[in-house]
Protein backbone atom coordinates (compact mmCIF):
# COMPACT_ATOMS: atom_id res chain seq x y z
CA UNK A 1 0.00 0.00 0.00
CA UNK A 2 2.85 2.40 0.81
CA UNK A 3 4.46 1.60 -2.54
CA UNK A 4 1.14 2.28 -4.27
CA UNK A 5 0.73 5.65 -2.56
CA UNK A 6 4.25 6.79 -3.43
CA UNK A 7 3.73 5.72 -7.04
CA UNK A 8 0.42 7.49 -7.51
CA UNK A 9 1.87 10.65 -6.01
CA UNK A 10 4.89 10.45 -8.32
CA UNK A 11 2.44 10.50 -11.25
CA UNK A 12 0.69 13.57 -9.86
CA UNK A 13 -2.33 11.72 -8.45
CA UNK A 14 -3.86 11.96 -4.98
CA UNK A 15 -3.82 8.45 -3.56
CA UNK A 16 -6.66 6.90 -1.54
CA UNK A 17 -6.56 3.41 -0.07
CA UNK A 18 -8.68 0.73 1.57
CA UNK A 19 -6.86 -1.96 3.52
CA UNK A 20 -7.92 -5.57 2.92
CA UNK A 21 -5.33 -7.24 5.17
CA UNK A 22 -2.76 -6.07 7.71
CA UNK A 23 0.48 -7.95 7.03
CA UNK A 24 3.51 -8.46 9.26
CA UNK A 25 6.52 -8.29 6.95
CA UNK A 26 9.88 -6.87 6.08
CA UNK A 27 11.70 -6.89 2.74
CA UNK A 28 12.72 -10.52 3.20
CA UNK A 29 9.61 -12.30 4.44
CA UNK A 30 5.93 -12.21 5.37
CA UNK A 31 5.40 -13.46 8.92
CA UNK A 32 1.61 -13.30 9.17
CA UNK A 33 -1.51 -11.31 8.44
CA UNK A 34 -4.87 -10.28 9.87
CA UNK A 35 -7.52 -10.08 7.17
CA UNK A 36 -10.20 -7.41 7.19
CA UNK A 37 -13.86 -8.31 6.89
CA UNK A 38 -15.88 -7.54 3.78
CA UNK A 39 -17.87 -5.04 5.84
CA UNK A 40 -14.69 -3.25 6.94
CA UNK A 41 -13.49 -2.96 3.33
CA UNK A 42 -16.80 -1.45 2.19
CA UNK A 43 -16.83 0.89 5.19
CA UNK A 44 -13.44 2.25 4.12
CA UNK A 45 -14.44 2.79 0.50
CA UNK A 46 -17.89 4.38 0.75
CA UNK A 47 -16.86 7.62 2.54
CA UNK A 48 -14.19 8.18 -0.12
CA UNK A 49 -16.76 7.83 -2.89
CA UNK A 50 -18.93 10.45 -1.19
CA UNK A 51 -16.11 13.00 -1.26
CA UNK A 52 -14.02 12.22 -4.35
CA UNK A 53 -14.43 11.51 -8.04
CA UNK A 54 -12.11 8.56 -8.60
CA UNK A 55 -10.03 8.74 -11.81
CA UNK A 56 -8.39 5.32 -11.64
CA UNK A 57 -8.30 2.22 -9.47
CA UNK A 58 -6.17 -0.81 -8.79
CA UNK A 59 -6.59 -3.82 -6.57
CA UNK A 60 -3.87 -5.69 -4.74
CA UNK A 61 -4.05 -8.38 -2.08
CA UNK A 62 -7.61 -9.66 -1.66
CA UNK A 63 -7.13 -12.56 0.71
CA UNK A 64 -10.59 -14.08 1.23
CA UNK A 65 -13.58 -15.00 -0.88
CA UNK A 66 -15.74 -12.58 1.09
CA UNK A 67 -13.40 -9.65 0.43
CA UNK A 68 -13.13 -10.47 -3.28
CA UNK A 69 -16.92 -10.62 -3.63
CA UNK A 70 -17.33 -7.33 -1.75
CA UNK A 71 -14.75 -5.60 -3.95
CA UNK A 72 -16.57 -6.89 -7.02
CA UNK A 73 -19.84 -5.49 -5.67
CA UNK A 74 -18.21 -2.12 -5.09
CA UNK A 75 -17.07 -1.94 -8.71
CA UNK A 76 -20.45 -3.12 -10.01
CA UNK A 77 -22.59 -0.85 -7.84
CA UNK A 78 -20.62 2.41 -7.88
CA UNK A 79 -18.95 4.62 -10.46
CA UNK A 80 -15.49 3.32 -9.63
CA UNK A 81 -13.52 2.96 -12.88
CA UNK A 82 -12.53 -0.49 -14.10
CA UNK A 83 -9.48 -1.48 -12.08
CA UNK A 84 -5.99 -2.65 -12.85
CA UNK A 85 -5.98 -5.99 -11.01
CA UNK A 86 -2.71 -7.16 -9.45
CA UNK A 87 -3.55 -10.78 -8.50
CA UNK A 88 -1.46 -11.11 -5.35
CA UNK A 89 -1.56 -14.84 -4.73
CA UNK A 90 1.64 -15.37 -2.75
CA UNK A 91 4.69 -13.54 -1.48
CA UNK A 92 8.10 -13.77 -3.11
CA UNK A 93 9.24 -15.72 -0.02
CA UNK A 94 6.60 -18.37 -0.75
CA UNK A 95 3.80 -17.56 1.71
CA UNK A 96 0.28 -17.98 0.34
CA UNK A 97 -1.57 -14.65 0.60
CA UNK A 98 -4.89 -15.58 -1.07
CA UNK A 99 -7.17 -18.41 -0.07
CA UNK A 100 -7.81 -20.90 -2.88
CA UNK A 101 -11.55 -20.26 -3.07
CA UNK A 102 -10.80 -16.52 -3.14
CA UNK A 103 -8.80 -17.04 -6.33
CA UNK A 104 -11.74 -18.88 -7.90
CA UNK A 105 -14.00 -15.97 -6.98
CA UNK A 106 -11.53 -13.46 -8.41
CA UNK A 107 -11.61 -15.29 -11.75
CA UNK A 108 -15.40 -15.35 -11.86
CA UNK A 109 -16.28 -11.97 -10.36
CA UNK A 110 -13.31 -9.61 -10.76
CA UNK A 111 -11.75 -10.46 -14.13
CA UNK A 112 -14.81 -9.43 -16.18
CA UNK A 113 -14.81 -6.04 -14.36
CA UNK A 114 -11.09 -5.35 -14.83
CA UNK A 115 -9.40 -3.04 -17.29
CA UNK A 116 -6.20 -5.07 -17.00
CA UNK A 117 -4.82 -7.94 -14.93
CA UNK A 118 -1.06 -8.00 -14.24
CA UNK A 119 0.11 -11.46 -13.10
CA UNK A 120 3.76 -12.36 -12.83
CA UNK A 121 4.82 -15.74 -14.20
CA UNK A 122 4.09 -17.80 -11.03
CA UNK A 123 0.68 -16.13 -10.75
CA UNK A 124 -0.03 -16.73 -14.45
CA UNK A 125 0.95 -20.38 -14.02
CA UNK A 126 -1.47 -20.69 -11.10
CA UNK A 127 -4.27 -19.04 -13.08
CA UNK A 128 -3.75 -21.12 -16.23
CA UNK A 129 -2.25 -24.39 -15.01
CA UNK A 130 0.51 -24.24 -17.62
CA UNK A 131 4.29 -23.96 -17.16
CA UNK A 132 5.78 -20.74 -18.53
CA UNK A 133 9.43 -20.78 -19.61
CA UNK A 134 9.40 -18.71 -22.80
CA UNK A 135 7.89 -15.67 -24.47
CA UNK A 136 5.67 -17.94 -26.56
CA UNK A 137 4.25 -19.53 -23.41
CA UNK A 138 3.71 -16.04 -21.93
CA UNK A 139 1.64 -15.18 -25.00
CA UNK A 140 -0.35 -18.40 -24.63
CA UNK A 141 -0.99 -17.75 -20.93
CA UNK A 142 -2.12 -14.19 -21.62
CA UNK A 143 -4.61 -15.45 -24.20
CA UNK A 144 -5.96 -18.08 -21.77
CA UNK A 145 -6.44 -15.52 -18.99
CA UNK A 146 -8.15 -13.14 -21.40
CA UNK A 147 -10.54 -15.94 -22.30
CA UNK A 148 -11.43 -16.13 -18.58
CA UNK A 149 -13.00 -12.69 -18.90
CA UNK A 150 -10.27 -10.06 -18.55
CA UNK A 151 -10.21 -7.69 -21.55
CA UNK A 152 -6.46 -7.21 -21.25
CA UNK A 153 -3.62 -9.17 -19.61
CA UNK A 154 -0.03 -8.15 -18.89
CA UNK A 155 2.23 -11.11 -18.08
CA UNK A 156 5.25 -9.81 -16.19
CA UNK A 157 8.38 -11.69 -17.20
CA UNK A 158 10.72 -10.96 -14.31
CA UNK A 159 10.73 -14.65 -13.35
CA UNK A 160 11.48 -15.84 -16.88
CA UNK A 161 14.55 -18.11 -16.61
CA UNK A 162 17.78 -17.12 -18.41
CA UNK A 163 16.15 -14.19 -20.21
CA UNK A 164 18.53 -11.60 -21.64
CA UNK A 165 15.96 -8.81 -21.27
CA UNK A 166 13.06 -8.08 -18.93
CA UNK A 167 10.17 -9.18 -21.16
CA UNK A 168 6.53 -8.35 -20.49
CA UNK A 169 3.70 -9.47 -22.78
CA UNK A 170 0.52 -7.40 -23.11
CA UNK A 171 -2.55 -8.96 -24.71
CA UNK A 172 -5.08 -6.14 -25.12
CA UNK A 173 -8.28 -7.64 -26.57
CA UNK A 174 -6.18 -9.87 -28.81
CA UNK A 175 -3.61 -7.26 -29.83
CA UNK A 176 -0.23 -8.39 -28.45
CA UNK A 177 2.54 -5.95 -27.56
CA UNK A 178 5.89 -7.18 -26.21
CA UNK A 179 7.91 -4.85 -23.99
CA UNK A 180 11.64 -5.53 -23.72
CA UNK A 181 13.75 -3.52 -21.31
CA UNK A 182 17.10 -3.83 -19.62
CA UNK A 183 17.33 -6.63 -17.04
CA UNK A 184 19.05 -5.39 -13.89
CA UNK A 185 20.45 -8.08 -11.61
CA UNK A 186 21.75 -7.85 -8.06
CA UNK A 187 19.15 -5.26 -7.01
CA UNK A 188 15.85 -6.01 -5.26
CA UNK A 189 12.96 -3.54 -5.29
CA UNK A 190 10.40 -4.56 -2.68
CA UNK A 191 6.89 -4.20 -4.09
CA UNK A 192 7.94 -3.81 -7.72
CA UNK A 193 4.76 -5.54 -8.93
CA UNK A 194 2.61 -3.19 -6.85
CA UNK A 195 4.52 -0.21 -8.23
CA UNK A 196 4.05 -1.33 -11.82
CA UNK A 197 0.29 -1.88 -11.53
CA UNK A 198 -0.17 1.41 -9.66
CA UNK A 199 1.82 3.27 -12.32
CA UNK A 200 -0.29 1.71 -15.08
CA UNK A 201 -3.49 2.72 -13.28
CA UNK A 202 -2.17 6.26 -12.85
CA UNK A 203 -1.42 6.50 -16.55
CA UNK A 204 -4.91 5.31 -17.41
CA UNK A 205 -6.36 7.82 -14.98
CA UNK A 206 -4.51 10.59 -16.79
CA UNK A 207 -6.00 9.53 -20.11
CA UNK A 208 -3.16 7.49 -21.62
CA UNK A 209 -3.89 4.51 -23.84
CA UNK A 210 -3.22 1.16 -22.21
CA UNK A 211 -0.06 0.45 -24.24
CA UNK A 212 1.31 3.92 -23.40
CA UNK A 213 0.42 3.48 -19.73
CA UNK A 214 2.32 0.18 -19.60
CA UNK A 215 5.35 1.70 -21.35
CA UNK A 216 5.44 4.66 -18.94
CA UNK A 217 5.02 2.35 -15.96
CA UNK A 218 7.86 0.09 -17.07
CA UNK A 219 10.16 3.11 -17.45
CA UNK A 220 9.17 4.28 -13.96
CA UNK A 221 9.87 0.86 -12.40
CA UNK A 222 13.19 0.52 -14.25
CA UNK A 223 14.38 3.84 -12.81
CA UNK A 224 13.17 2.83 -9.35
CA UNK A 225 15.14 -0.43 -9.58
CA UNK A 226 18.26 1.46 -10.62
CA UNK A 227 17.94 3.64 -7.51
CA UNK A 228 17.13 0.77 -5.14
CA UNK A 229 19.77 -0.37 -2.62
CA UNK A 230 21.91 -3.37 -3.44
CA UNK A 231 20.91 -6.69 -1.93
CA UNK A 232 22.06 -7.09 1.64
CA UNK A 233 24.14 -10.11 2.65
Return the minimum-mean-pLDDT range out of 60-69, 89-98, 166-175, 197-206.
89-98
DSSP 37: P
- Are the C-beta atoms of residues 72 and 113 closer than 8 Å to each other? yes
| Collapsed DSSP state (helix, strand, coil) of residue 154 | strand
Say what the pLDDT of residue 120 is.
Answer: 94
CA-CA distance, 177 to 62, in Å (whole number)?
Answer: 28
Tell me: pLDDT of 190 over 60: no
Say what the pLDDT of residue 231 is.
Answer: 45
Q: How confident is the model at residue 233 (pLDDT cuts 50, 70, 90)?
A: very low
Query: pTM score, two decimals?
Result: 0.90
> What percent of the chain clears pLDDT 90, i.e. is strictly above it?
71
Q: Which of 89, 92, 93, 96 is nearest to 62 (CA)?
A: 89
Maximum Cα–Cα distance across the chain: 49
Say what the pLDDT of residue 170 is.
Answer: 98
| Collapsed DSSP state (helix, strand, coil) of residue 82 | coil
- Are the C-beta atoms of residues 192 and 225 closer than 8 Å to each other? yes
Tell me: pLDDT of 230 over 60: no
| All domains in the chain, ordered by first residue | 2-10+35-227 (3.40.1190.20)
Mean of pLDDT values over 17-39 = 89
CA-CA distance, 229 to 27, in Å (whole number)?
Answer: 12
Tell me the pLDDT tens digit for each residue of 50-102.
999 999 999 999 999 999 999 999 999 999 999 999 999 876 656 678 888 99
| Collapsed DSSP state (helix, strand, coil) of residue 175 | strand
Amino acid sequence: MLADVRTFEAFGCQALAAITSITFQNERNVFGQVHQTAEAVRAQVMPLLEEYKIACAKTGMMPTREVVSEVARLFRETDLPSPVVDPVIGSTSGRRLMEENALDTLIVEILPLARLITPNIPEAETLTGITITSEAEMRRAAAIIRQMGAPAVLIKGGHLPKAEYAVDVLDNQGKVTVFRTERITGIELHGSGCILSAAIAAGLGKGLALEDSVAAAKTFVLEAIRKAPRLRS
